[in-house]
Structure 1
Amino acid sequence: MLSKILVGLDGSSHSFKALEFALELAVLKPEIKLTAVCVVGFSRDLALFAGLSPEQYNAFLKEKASKTLAQAENMANQKGIKISTCVLEGDAAEMLSKYARTEGFDHIVVGGRGLSNIKGMVLGSVSHRLLYQAPCPVSVIR
Protein backbone atom coordinates (compact mmCIF):
# COMPACT_ATOMS: atom_id res chain seq x y z
CA MET A 1 0.00 0.00 0.00
CA LEU A 2 1.46 3.36 -1.03
CA SER A 3 1.79 5.92 1.72
CA LYS A 4 5.15 7.67 1.16
CA ILE A 5 6.48 8.39 -2.34
CA LEU A 6 9.91 9.81 -3.09
CA VAL A 7 10.25 11.62 -6.43
CA GLY A 8 13.76 12.14 -7.79
CA LEU A 9 14.09 15.38 -9.76
CA ASP A 10 17.00 16.68 -11.80
CA GLY A 11 15.23 19.42 -13.76
CA SER A 12 14.81 17.33 -16.91
CA SER A 13 11.48 16.97 -18.68
CA HIS A 14 11.46 13.24 -17.82
CA SER A 15 11.86 13.98 -14.12
CA PHE A 16 8.92 16.40 -14.25
CA LYS A 17 6.85 13.70 -15.98
CA ALA A 18 7.72 11.49 -13.02
CA LEU A 19 6.49 14.23 -10.69
CA GLU A 20 3.25 14.54 -12.68
CA PHE A 21 2.74 10.77 -12.32
CA ALA A 22 3.28 10.95 -8.55
CA LEU A 23 0.95 13.94 -8.27
CA GLU A 24 -1.79 12.02 -10.09
CA LEU A 25 -1.38 9.16 -7.60
CA ALA A 26 -1.74 11.68 -4.77
CA VAL A 27 -4.89 13.09 -6.35
CA LEU A 28 -6.37 9.58 -6.41
CA LYS A 29 -5.15 8.76 -2.92
CA PRO A 30 -4.86 11.97 -0.84
CA GLU A 31 -3.23 10.23 2.16
CA ILE A 32 -0.03 9.70 0.11
CA LYS A 33 2.83 11.84 1.34
CA LEU A 34 5.06 13.12 -1.48
CA THR A 35 8.64 14.26 -1.18
CA ALA A 36 10.59 15.69 -4.12
CA VAL A 37 14.37 15.34 -3.89
CA CYS A 38 17.18 16.85 -5.94
CA VAL A 39 20.60 15.32 -5.53
CA VAL A 40 23.54 17.64 -6.09
CA GLY A 41 26.41 15.64 -7.57
CA PHE A 42 29.39 17.88 -6.94
CA SER A 43 32.54 17.23 -8.92
CA ARG A 44 35.78 19.17 -8.45
CA ASP A 45 36.76 18.30 -12.03
CA LEU A 46 33.52 19.72 -13.44
CA ALA A 47 33.98 22.87 -11.37
CA LEU A 48 37.45 23.41 -12.80
CA PHE A 49 36.21 22.61 -16.31
CA ALA A 50 33.49 25.26 -15.90
CA GLY A 51 36.13 27.76 -14.75
CA LEU A 52 34.63 28.08 -11.29
CA SER A 53 35.98 27.49 -7.83
CA PRO A 54 34.57 24.38 -6.14
CA GLU A 55 32.61 26.63 -3.79
CA GLN A 56 31.09 28.63 -6.69
CA TYR A 57 30.17 25.47 -8.57
CA ASN A 58 28.59 23.85 -5.52
CA ALA A 59 26.56 27.03 -4.89
CA PHE A 60 25.43 27.01 -8.54
CA LEU A 61 24.26 23.39 -8.27
CA LYS A 62 22.37 24.05 -5.03
CA GLU A 63 20.68 27.11 -6.55
CA LYS A 64 19.64 25.07 -9.58
CA ALA A 65 18.26 22.35 -7.28
CA SER A 66 16.32 24.95 -5.27
CA LYS A 67 14.73 26.32 -8.47
CA THR A 68 13.79 22.80 -9.58
CA LEU A 69 12.17 22.08 -6.22
CA ALA A 70 10.34 25.42 -6.29
CA GLN A 71 8.88 24.40 -9.66
CA ALA A 72 7.83 21.06 -8.12
CA GLU A 73 6.10 22.86 -5.24
CA ASN A 74 4.29 25.09 -7.74
CA MET A 75 3.09 22.06 -9.72
CA ALA A 76 1.84 20.40 -6.53
CA ASN A 77 0.13 23.58 -5.31
CA GLN A 78 -1.76 23.86 -8.61
CA LYS A 79 -3.26 20.43 -7.89
CA GLY A 80 -3.91 21.24 -4.23
CA ILE A 81 -1.31 18.74 -3.04
CA LYS A 82 1.19 19.30 -0.26
CA ILE A 83 4.73 18.22 -1.11
CA SER A 84 7.93 18.21 0.91
CA THR A 85 11.27 18.95 -0.69
CA CYS A 86 14.88 18.11 0.06
CA VAL A 87 18.33 18.67 -1.46
CA LEU A 88 20.89 15.91 -0.94
CA GLU A 89 24.56 15.79 -1.90
CA GLY A 90 26.36 12.86 -3.50
CA ASP A 91 25.70 10.17 -6.08
CA ALA A 92 22.05 10.38 -7.16
CA ALA A 93 21.16 6.66 -7.15
CA GLU A 94 23.03 6.00 -3.93
CA MET A 95 21.55 9.00 -2.10
CA LEU A 96 17.98 8.38 -3.27
CA SER A 97 18.24 4.74 -2.15
CA LYS A 98 19.74 5.69 1.21
CA TYR A 99 17.16 8.44 1.82
CA ALA A 100 14.30 6.11 0.88
CA ARG A 101 15.62 3.50 3.32
CA THR A 102 16.26 5.83 6.26
CA GLU A 103 13.02 7.81 5.86
CA GLY A 104 10.77 4.78 5.26
CA PHE A 105 9.55 5.50 1.73
CA ASP A 106 7.61 2.68 0.11
CA HIS A 107 7.97 3.83 -3.50
CA ILE A 108 10.41 5.86 -5.63
CA VAL A 109 9.41 7.56 -8.87
CA VAL A 110 12.03 8.86 -11.33
CA GLY A 111 12.28 9.84 -14.96
CA GLY A 112 13.66 7.41 -17.51
CA ARG A 113 16.19 9.86 -18.84
CA GLY A 114 17.71 12.78 -17.06
CA LEU A 115 20.38 15.39 -17.35
CA SER A 116 23.28 13.01 -17.62
CA ASN A 117 26.77 13.39 -18.98
CA ILE A 118 29.26 10.98 -20.53
CA LYS A 119 30.10 9.62 -17.08
CA GLY A 120 26.43 8.69 -16.63
CA MET A 121 26.42 6.76 -19.90
CA VAL A 122 29.52 4.80 -18.90
CA LEU A 123 28.39 3.96 -15.36
CA GLY A 124 24.71 3.51 -16.13
CA SER A 125 21.75 5.76 -15.60
CA VAL A 126 20.39 6.73 -12.21
CA SER A 127 17.07 5.03 -12.93
CA HIS A 128 18.78 1.79 -13.96
CA ARG A 129 20.97 1.72 -10.85
CA LEU A 130 18.00 2.54 -8.62
CA LEU A 131 16.22 -0.59 -9.82
CA TYR A 132 18.97 -2.62 -8.14
CA GLN A 133 19.83 -0.42 -5.14
CA ALA A 134 16.47 0.84 -3.91
CA PRO A 135 14.89 -0.70 -0.79
CA CYS A 136 11.40 -0.39 -2.33
CA PRO A 137 9.64 -0.52 -5.70
CA VAL A 138 10.79 2.00 -8.33
CA SER A 139 8.67 3.41 -11.13
CA VAL A 140 10.60 4.76 -14.11
CA ILE A 141 8.49 7.20 -16.09
CA ARG A 142 9.20 7.99 -19.73
Structure 2
Amino acid sequence: MDEKGKGNGLNLDFKIDPEDIINRPGRRREYEVVNSEVPLWVHIMLGIVAGSILIAVLWTGYWKYQAYQLHQHIKRADERQQTELMIMREQRNLRQQAIVQEQQRQERTRQMATPQCRFWTDHYRNNPDQKSLENMRRYCP
Protein backbone atom coordinates (compact mmCIF):
# COMPACT_ATOMS: atom_id res chain seq x y z
CA MET A 1 0.00 0.00 0.00
CA ASP A 2 1.03 3.55 -0.57
CA GLU A 3 0.99 6.31 1.95
CA LYS A 4 -2.16 7.95 0.66
CA GLY A 5 -4.22 4.89 1.44
CA LYS A 6 -2.91 4.59 4.98
CA GLY A 7 -3.66 8.13 5.94
CA ASN A 8 -7.36 7.88 5.05
CA GLY A 9 -7.88 4.44 6.40
CA LEU A 10 -8.89 3.25 2.96
CA ASN A 11 -7.68 0.07 1.43
CA LEU A 12 -6.84 0.78 -2.18
CA ASP A 13 -5.43 -2.64 -2.93
CA PHE A 14 -7.50 -3.90 -5.88
CA LYS A 15 -6.61 -7.48 -6.52
CA ILE A 16 -9.24 -9.44 -8.36
CA ASP A 17 -9.25 -13.15 -7.99
CA PRO A 18 -10.66 -14.94 -11.10
CA GLU A 19 -12.12 -17.65 -8.89
CA ASP A 20 -14.30 -15.04 -7.10
CA ILE A 21 -15.85 -13.99 -10.41
CA ILE A 22 -16.53 -17.51 -11.60
CA ASN A 23 -17.89 -18.84 -8.30
CA ARG A 24 -19.82 -15.76 -7.23
CA PRO A 25 -23.26 -16.82 -5.83
CA GLY A 26 -26.21 -16.06 -8.11
CA ARG A 27 -23.93 -15.22 -10.95
CA ARG A 28 -23.27 -18.61 -12.37
CA ARG A 29 -26.18 -20.34 -14.02
CA GLU A 30 -26.31 -23.74 -15.42
CA TYR A 31 -28.76 -24.48 -18.17
CA GLU A 32 -30.17 -27.90 -18.63
CA VAL A 33 -30.31 -28.99 -22.23
CA VAL A 34 -33.38 -31.04 -23.02
CA ASN A 35 -32.73 -33.55 -25.67
CA SER A 36 -35.96 -33.75 -27.58
CA GLU A 37 -37.00 -36.57 -29.82
CA VAL A 38 -38.72 -34.03 -32.15
CA PRO A 39 -36.46 -32.57 -34.83
CA LEU A 40 -35.91 -28.81 -35.06
CA TRP A 41 -37.76 -28.45 -38.37
CA VAL A 42 -40.98 -29.68 -36.68
CA HIS A 43 -40.71 -26.92 -34.07
CA ILE A 44 -40.11 -24.35 -36.80
CA MET A 45 -43.06 -25.67 -38.81
CA LEU A 46 -45.33 -25.53 -35.74
CA GLY A 47 -44.25 -21.93 -35.13
CA ILE A 48 -45.03 -20.98 -38.73
CA VAL A 49 -48.43 -22.72 -38.59
CA ALA A 50 -49.30 -21.05 -35.27
CA GLY A 51 -48.25 -17.66 -36.69
CA SER A 52 -50.31 -18.23 -39.83
CA ILE A 53 -53.36 -19.16 -37.77
CA LEU A 54 -52.90 -16.05 -35.63
CA ILE A 55 -52.60 -13.84 -38.71
CA ALA A 56 -55.71 -15.45 -40.25
CA VAL A 57 -57.72 -14.92 -37.06
CA LEU A 58 -56.62 -11.28 -36.79
CA TRP A 59 -57.33 -10.66 -40.46
CA THR A 60 -60.82 -12.20 -40.16
CA GLY A 61 -61.50 -10.17 -37.03
CA TYR A 62 -60.41 -6.98 -38.79
CA TRP A 63 -62.76 -7.56 -41.72
CA LYS A 64 -65.64 -8.52 -39.43
CA TYR A 65 -65.09 -5.28 -37.53
CA GLN A 66 -65.07 -3.33 -40.79
CA ALA A 67 -68.34 -5.03 -41.79
CA TYR A 68 -69.80 -4.20 -38.37
CA GLN A 69 -68.86 -0.53 -38.76
CA LEU A 70 -70.38 -0.46 -42.25
CA HIS A 71 -73.57 -2.07 -40.93
CA GLN A 72 -73.80 0.54 -38.14
CA HIS A 73 -73.26 3.37 -40.63
CA ILE A 74 -75.97 2.02 -42.94
CA LYS A 75 -78.31 1.55 -39.98
CA ARG A 76 -77.82 5.17 -38.85
CA ALA A 77 -78.31 6.43 -42.41
CA ASP A 78 -81.51 4.39 -42.72
CA GLU A 79 -82.81 5.79 -39.42
CA ARG A 80 -82.08 9.34 -40.59
CA GLN A 81 -83.83 8.65 -43.88
CA GLN A 82 -86.86 7.17 -42.09
CA THR A 83 -87.01 10.23 -39.83
CA GLU A 84 -86.81 12.61 -42.78
CA LEU A 85 -89.45 10.61 -44.64
CA MET A 86 -91.76 10.74 -41.61
CA ILE A 87 -91.27 14.52 -41.34
CA MET A 88 -92.02 14.94 -45.04
CA ARG A 89 -95.20 12.83 -44.69
CA GLU A 90 -96.33 14.92 -41.72
CA GLN A 91 -95.70 18.13 -43.66
CA ARG A 92 -97.60 16.76 -46.68
CA ASN A 93 -100.52 15.74 -44.45
CA LEU A 94 -100.59 19.18 -42.84
CA ARG A 95 -100.59 20.84 -46.29
CA GLN A 96 -103.42 18.55 -47.43
CA GLN A 97 -105.41 19.29 -44.28
CA ALA A 98 -104.89 23.01 -44.82
CA ILE A 99 -106.08 22.67 -48.44
CA VAL A 100 -109.17 20.70 -47.37
CA GLN A 101 -109.97 23.21 -44.63
CA GLU A 102 -109.58 26.07 -47.09
CA GLN A 103 -111.87 24.33 -49.57
CA GLN A 104 -114.44 23.70 -46.83
CA ARG A 105 -114.25 27.33 -45.76
CA GLN A 106 -114.70 28.49 -49.37
CA GLU A 107 -117.62 26.09 -49.85
CA ARG A 108 -119.25 27.33 -46.64
CA THR A 109 -118.73 30.94 -47.71
CA ARG A 110 -120.20 30.15 -51.12
CA GLN A 111 -123.22 28.42 -49.55
CA MET A 112 -123.73 31.27 -47.09
CA ALA A 113 -123.80 33.68 -50.04
CA THR A 114 -126.70 31.91 -51.80
CA PRO A 115 -129.95 33.90 -52.00
CA GLN A 116 -131.96 31.23 -50.14
CA CYS A 117 -129.49 31.17 -47.21
CA ARG A 118 -129.44 34.97 -46.96
CA PHE A 119 -133.27 35.06 -47.10
CA TRP A 120 -133.77 32.49 -44.31
CA THR A 121 -131.01 33.99 -42.18
CA ASP A 122 -132.58 37.45 -42.39
CA HIS A 123 -136.02 35.95 -41.81
CA TYR A 124 -134.80 34.11 -38.69
CA ARG A 125 -133.17 37.29 -37.32
CA ASN A 126 -136.38 39.27 -37.81
CA ASN A 127 -138.81 36.51 -36.83
CA PRO A 128 -137.14 33.75 -34.77
CA ASP A 129 -139.50 30.82 -35.05
CA GLN A 130 -139.03 27.07 -35.53
CA LYS A 131 -139.82 27.06 -39.26
CA SER A 132 -137.29 29.84 -39.98
CA LEU A 133 -134.64 27.97 -37.94
CA GLU A 134 -135.25 24.70 -39.81
CA ASN A 135 -135.09 26.37 -43.23
CA MET A 136 -131.98 28.31 -42.26
CA ARG A 137 -130.27 25.06 -41.18
CA ARG A 138 -131.40 23.36 -44.39
CA TYR A 139 -130.11 26.07 -46.77
CA CYS A 140 -127.15 27.31 -44.70
CA PRO A 141 -124.60 24.68 -43.62
- TM-score, length-scaled by structure 1: 0.21
Higher relative contact order structure (alpha carbons within 8 Å, sequence separation ≥ 6): 1
Q: Which has the larger share of strand?
A: 1
The structure number with the bigger radius of gyration is 2
Q: Which has the larger share of helix?
A: 2
